[in-house]
Chain A
Amino acid sequence: MAQATAPPRPMPRPSGGTSAAEPPPRRRRSQAVAGHVFLAPWLIGAVVLTLGPMLISLYLSFTDYDLFSRPHWVGLANYRYMFEDDKFLTSAKVTLKFVLIGGPLKLAAALGVALLLNRARTGVGLYRAAFYAPSLLGASVSVALVWRSLFATGGLTDRTTSFFGWHVGGLTDNPDYAMYPLVLLTVWQFGAPMVIFLAGLKQIPKELYESAALDGAGRLRTFFSITLPMLSPVLFFNLVMEIIHSFQSFTSAFVISGGTGGPSNSTLFYSLYLYQQAFTNFHMGYAAAMAWLLLAVIAVVTYAAFRSARLWVFYGQDDA
């Protein structure tokens, strides 16, 4: 995140005189003092709750620490143990599967419905709001409880699939399928990226579509040659946000599996296993190591996304 931006310095105003352009030294000092006064809460938070704890958890990740006795330095043992810890490897696999299946499906649904809603018709606002609602509710325990019942043995999906001759039982009770209700739950919340896609679609100049129509481009051609490239920055933003969020999913898996990540660890999300290690087993050092690995993975994936963005994200003509 090195290139992540200092704010653009306010340009000196051509008109409007000397007052704000370059403040005199005394005012500048008073601004520096005032700046730190206004920033005081944030500064304290950044040092005491963010940067400090980051460094401490990096240290703890090299120790054996159970919260009650002093941390005991063990070097890389925590990191090395991860590769022998079957439960850890399972949780990494489960989370990756969730990110790779749930993320694209959610974004595809978001883009598809955004295209559907990107027109001026009565009712668009209503539909947009209704489709967005699940994004606000999906993270709650209430909705997770609904999912638990819908997909339980004897529940709605069990009876429906049995009716069609597929006797699979409750999906949440079956290690082979327990992941899919959770995937469905994240896809259900496609409204937030959909709204962002809609904002992006509104930015595409109408002239492009007009000239494409004049050139006789069909619907599919128009989508792939105009809509998708013009939308790629928004798609990129949604993709990065989605990856970061879904790596950290917790509540739904916790509630649906009753805190276990079961059956047979099939919904043992990374965050859930980290929680178990830290607050059930009090393996705080190991959990800290897991947290730093998560940060590293998210940083690498985000960096890779930014690098690859040069190949497929279209930010308009540079030479213009």
Chain B
Amino acid sequence: MTTVTTPVRSRPRIPGRSLAWHVICVAIGLVLLYPLLWLFTASLKSGTEILSNLSPIPKVFTPGNYSKAADGISGLTLWRLFGNSLLLACLAVAGNVISCSLAAYAFARLRFCARGLYFSVMIATLMLPMHVMLIPQYVIYQKLGFLGTYLPLVIPKFLATEAFFVFLIVQFIRSLPRELDEAAVLDGCGPYRTFWYIILPLLKPALVTTTIFSFISAWNDFFSQLIYLTDPKMYTLQLGLRLFVDQTDSSAYGPMFAMSVIALLPVLLFFLAFQRLLVEGVQTSGLKG
């Protein structure tokens, strides 16, 4: 226990208060984590038991849900769905990291007359609802014959359309001491080598944050996948899960929740591994999860 006190310092310390505070926090935590706990235990229950048995402990322990989930749905195995999701998420990460760091460097360090205008446009797109671009984008991809491929989901990431990440990296570069660039210039580096040898190595923390958030948002994405992925072979976990919704048979519930658990696992692992960075990322940039 540290000795730093609560913001209102003059109040005398009451011994029971710390305990009461912990009780309240744990209670909030339990309420918040209850749906996740419910999901996990439901994934181990039999289909008929999921709705009827309110106790978290399964009456009939059914790990078979997971092997059924592995068999997949509608002829799509879990591993195909998982692999497709993983591929898309990794491509999204690569696209965002490359294109956003390039753009951010230009915004933060290079000086040219149109920069102010471009920057205003970039900031304005932060708040733009994607619906305004949705239909023409769909038409463009259709005309190009890209429907039913991953291209409509991947191309935007390589073109730095997620302005949040550009902004995040711009803010980070601005915090780096300019003397480094100046030293590089004196040593004869142009903008390209300055970026490659000086800025990029220092960008690591910002790029890690970008990676985590890109991965999670691409993994959880549903809307664009729903629109653009028409071939079941290319379906992702999120779309595969959605197929379960149409099945009314309660025997599908167990495998459905088993697959839901598996779909949450990568996000949970990212969260456990990087929770400090994630929370700091939200604090510094106002990024939403």
Q: Determine if B279 and A128 form an interchain contact, defined as CB atoms under 8 angstroms apart.
A: yes
B50 to A149, Cβ gap below 8 A?
Answer: yes
Interface size counted on chain A using CB atoms at 8 A: 119
Give min CB distance, A43 to chain B, whole Å: 7
- B246: chain A residues at CB < 8 Å are 258
Contacts of A45 in B (CB 8 A): 99, 156, 159-161
Residues of the B chain whose Cβ atoms lie less than 8 Å from the Cβ of A265: none
A154 to B282, CA, bound (A): 38
Interface residue tally on B, bucketed by range:
35 or more
In the assembled complex, which residues on chain A have CB atoms less than 8 Å from the CB atom of B130? 248
Q: Which residues of B are found within 8 Å of A39, using beta-carbon distances? A: 102-103, 106-107, 118
The answer on a CB contact under 8 Å between A122 and B2 is: yes
Report if B60 contacts A (CB, 8 A).
no
Of A53-61, A80-88, A172-180, A312-320, the one contacting chain B is A53-61
Are B142 and A140 in contact, CB atoms less than 8 angstroms apart?
A: no
A248 in contact with B260 (CB, 8 Å): no
Which of A46, A49, A149, A255 sits near B242, CB closer than 8 Å? A255
CB-based contact A34/B282 at 8 Å: no
The verdict on A145 contacting B260 (CB below 8 Å), with A10-B178, A31-B191, A196-B283 known, is yes
Interface string of A284-310 (1 = CB under 8 A from B): 100110111011001000100000000
> Does B119 contact A7, Cβ atoms closer than 8 Å?
yes
Give the contacting residue for B142; candidates A67, A116, A139, A143; CB below 8 A. Answer: A67
- Asked, given contacts A42-B159, A121-B18, A146-B39, whether A210 binds B32 with beta carbons under 8 Å apart, the answer is no
The complex places the Cα of A140 from the Cα of B264 at a distance, in Å, of 8
Which residues of chain B from 162 to 193 have any CB-CB distance to chain A below 8 Å in the complex? 166, 170, 178-179, 181-182, 185-186, 190-192
| Residue interface bits B124-140, CB-to-A below 8 A is 1, else 0 | 11011111111111111
Contact A206 B112 (CB under 8 A): no
Q: Which of B24, B51, B117, B178 contacts A155 (CB 8 A)?
A: B51
Q: Say whether B207 faces chain A, with CB atoms less than 8 Å apart.
A: no
Question: Once bound together, how far apart are the Cα atoms of A273 and B108, in whole Å?
Answer: 40
| A120 close to B2 (CB less than 8 A) | yes
Does B14 interact with chain A (Cβ within 8 Å)?
no
